[in-house]
Chain A
Amino acid sequence: DTAVSQTPKYLVTQMGNDKSIKCEQNLGHDTMYWYKQDSKKFLKIMFSYNNKELIINETVPNRFSPKSPDKAHLNLHINSLELGDSAVYFCASSSSPGGDTQYFGPGTRLTVL
């Protein structure tokens, strides 16, 4: 059984489009995250939710909007996609914010043409 799953795995789209990435975890964790990994493998946090509430919101363009319908799901919607949004997006979860082990999903490779 996959602990943290993401869909889709690959996403290729045109500049200006709107797209969503979905994440689900079956670990019973309270905290979920979105990370962006650029082409140089630098992994940077974007958002974190704890019990469906936003607790970390890094300096991310407001074209990116996370939504947590319940503790097991954290989706990421991106409006007006730009070339610079091309990256791999990882969802992760942990039992509590910060110090606990974070479990990562397989990633969504987004390419904006």
Chain B
Amino acid sequence: QKEVEQDPGPLSVPEGAIVSLNCTYSNSAFQYFMWYRQYSRKGPELLMYTYSSGNKEDGRFTAQVDKSSKYISLFIRDSQPSDSATYLCAMNQGAQKLVFGQGTRLTINP
């Protein structure tokens, strides 16, 4: 079993829809949770960074962490075609290696 599980998709939704992306993990020691966005043929870039359970909002993006269920989510409101990318969850326990999910390929259709 992988430490971090993420549905690779692909996921295709119409413009304006609310998108929900999820990851589950098995290591209860993970403390820091991130979402990276990767456009085609580019390097990943950090989108959201959270520590501990709860919600964090940044514009149209909301990151949610539920440590009791070992489950994290990324919500995208009012999705735009420019949001089409692969979204990777990542997590670690402080100064340890970052463990990534497989990434979910998302397409927003105009």
Question: What is the chain B residue whose CB lies nearest that of A91?
Answer: B43
Q: Is there a chain A Cβ closer than 8 Å to B7's Cβ? A: no
User: Is B43 within 8 A of A98, CB to CB?
Assistant: no
Q: When each residue 58-95 of chain B gets 1 if its CB lies under 8 Å from chain A and 0 otherwise, what string results? A: 00000000000000000000000000001010001111
> Using Cβ atoms and an 8 Å threshold, which residues of chain A touch B93?
98
**Assembly CA distance A96 to B92 (angstroms):** 13
Q: How many A-B pairs fall under 8 Å by CB?
A: 58
User: Is A107 within 8 A of B95, CB to CB?
Assistant: no
Count of B interface residues, CB-CB < 8 Å: 25
Chain B residues 14 to 66 lying within 8 A of chain A, measured CB to CB, are 31-32, 34, 38, 41-46, 49
Partner of A107, one of B42, B88, B94: B42
**Assembly CA distance A102 to B34 (angstroms):** 10
Q: For chain A, give the interface size range.
A: 20 to 34
Q: Is there a chain A Cβ closer than 8 Å to B109's Cβ? A: no
B interface residues, Cβ below 8 angstroms from A: 8, 31-32, 34, 38, 41-46, 49, 86, 88, 92-98, 100, 102-103, 105
Please give 14 more A-B residue pairs, beta carbons under 8 A apart, in addition to A40-B102, A98-B95. A41-B88, A41-B103, A42-B102, A43-B44, A43-B100, A44-B100, A45-B97, A97-B95, A98-B93, A98-B94, A101-B34, A102-B98, A105-B43, A107-B43
